[in-house]
Structure 1
Amino acid sequence: MNFSIVADKPLEKYKKCDVSLILLSVLLWGIGMFTLYVCSGNYGERAFNDSLYFVKRQMISSCLGFMLFIVFMTLKIEVIKKFLPLMVAVGLILSLMTFLPGIGLERNGARRWIKLGFMTFQPSEMIKFVVVLYLANYFEKQDKITDAIDKTVFPAVLLTFLMILTIAVQRDMSTSLFVAGLAILLFIASGAKIFWLVPVLSIVIPLSALFIFLEPYRLNRIIGFLDQDSYLQTLNYQTYAARRAISDGGFWGQGLGAGLNRINSIPEIQSDYIFAGWVESMGFCGVLCYFALLALFAWRGLVCALTTKTRFASVAAFGFIVSIVAQSVINIAVVGGVIPTTGIPLPFFSSGGSSILFTLAICGFLVNASRNRIDSYENVDIGEILYE
């Protein structure tokens, strides 16, 4: 019996992954977990008689997330593409399962979750992930078609619209609009003809306005945003409490765990408003550190998108980086009262198993794409990657 521990492939054929992406991903996750620990203890104790309730659930989801991280980091890009039809089908089926009695879970009038034994799952997070991969794969296939007459974006527009619609009917307007904006950006970045954008927007914009005005809570969010000095004990209470916590943070912050009075006054702080807890604890200095880490993460991700060999990996990496950065900016803008409340979570920070699951899967894919970079990228032009 012959055994060999030496790889058959020549050493120069192996590409090193971007270690900084791994370190940044783990660091952002670690800071997010520690912030969740500091901010969620009081609410967990009051609501579930367990100060570590949200931390434990997030840790379980994170373990599964790191498994996905390893899977998407190690699988060959071609293998990921082969599994795409299955991922799209599973995402659509899970989205529709939110309406099945006994499986779908309704909260605050919205059916966005399904029960999976000891945990819940939010299919819209999977759809957000799958849309990017699907469009990246579709654009790569279209790029290989030589006859311009055979090129069309209609199938991609139709299936993307269907996936977004499954989110919208769950009464998750903010996520559906976010995915729609992300998809449009990918169409534009990939050089696809956007003549179809006019009729699509002529349908989407009126429908979006209709959905907003048909739901009283969405209309109340807009009213509260337009008049932020009023309704401080009702519509604007969450934003008002978040602002007080941010103000108390000052430049250096109250210290982790020191300023819990303000943090505890923010409803559902472990979810969409967790950044207010980070700012109160770490102050303006903590805000600068967070944005520095986010900027480094975005930079390394964009370098990965511009230097990876395949069009599929390039477009997908670009879409994923935009997704994480845009979600972060939107969430922080909501906490600061710059835009109306949206329900968009803060990646790596907000409590939510589905969110951390696919955030870590995105990080794994980015690391994978960095392993397939071109040999020299000193003079790489974005046009050569996205439009070629």
Structure 2
Amino acid sequence: MKHAARTLAFVARFVVLGLAVAFVIGLFWPGSGAFLRQRLAPASAGGQVTAPANAPGSAPASYADAVAKAAPSVVNIYANKLVTEQPRELYSDPVLQRIFSVPTGPARTRRQQNLGSGVIVSDDGYVLTNNHVIANADDIQLLLYDGRVAKARVVGSDDETDLAVLKVDAGNLPAIHMTDAESRPRVGDVVLAIGNPFGIGQTVTMGIVSAIGRQLNLSSLENFIQTDAAINFGNSGGALVNAHGELVGINTSLIGQAVGAEGIGFAIPVQSARDVLDQIVQTGHVVRGWIGADYGAVPVSADSGLPSAARGVVVNEVSPGGPAALAGIQQRDVLLRIGDEDILDPSDLRRHEASLKPGVPVKISGLRYGAPFSATVTPAQRPPSAPMQALRQP
């Protein structure tokens, strides 16, 4: 017992002495702790401590690899057209114009150039851009990433989605990699906008996906990706890519500072662009289905017979003689299902309707005054509609 007590006292004296020495060293050499930890920490093969690479949730220090992968596929577009200007009258008042009629000369014709961007989507020369970039142009020149200048022709365009397909005859064209349906962007994903703002040359801006499924015009087929990546005049038709350099959208419009907005830009999802591209390449134009009915959100009320979280649409109007009228669909019908798919809301049905093939019957089911019903509709080809009007098109 006495031996154990002597041993314990001996150890205690050395512990106290060690703490005293550590206190003195810490007092006169404050950085000694960090120095010893660095010297005694396990080192890598190179003698340095390395952090784990590609840790979950970590962001890359640079997006240069993504830009290097995507940038060669983005082209600058210079669309030229002849514009005729009528001579200006000296007086705006019609009476004064008749009294002091002074010839102001003949109408003048000048060449106008529209700036934009485009994305090479196939190595055989197909380029996606915005329709408003090349509309009415009689000469379209592309500046490629490697400095070559090539002339392009319009294969086809689609006003409703504001997309156009160009064809350029040149070799060694780097086609961009487009994401598939399983790789759709999520809110919060980092995205890069590549284009030719103000004609200063190819420029990259970074942001995140702010929202998906945005609509600026409720009567259109819009399904925008919203981003805060800077999109300026000349960026139209350029690429919106993810952090891996894969195409997720075609930059098309923005809400400008004129209305007090900042960092609100829009891109057409690559899935929509791919559908338009395929149809234009195959047929030269886009064909969409039409059921001949106008519909809106379902008004939920106590006597509607629908749950509080109702899906579907309510039919507001049926076009006389249209496919819906011929199938017996009536005003105030609630449509819940089309084919094998549930109808989520009006924008969802518009997308389903547009994808229908004219002449191919489809079953539509829903509720009529609370009772289930179904009808077989044979879609027609969608009639022409007014072009999409964005709040501001860069």
Fold conserved (TM > 0.5)?
A: no
More strand by share: 2
TM-score band by shorter chain is under 0.3
| TM-score, normalised relative to structure 1 | 0.20
More helix by share: 1
| TM-score, normalised relative to structure 2 | 0.20
- Identify the structure with bigger relative contact order (alpha carbons < 8 Å, sequence gap 6+): 1
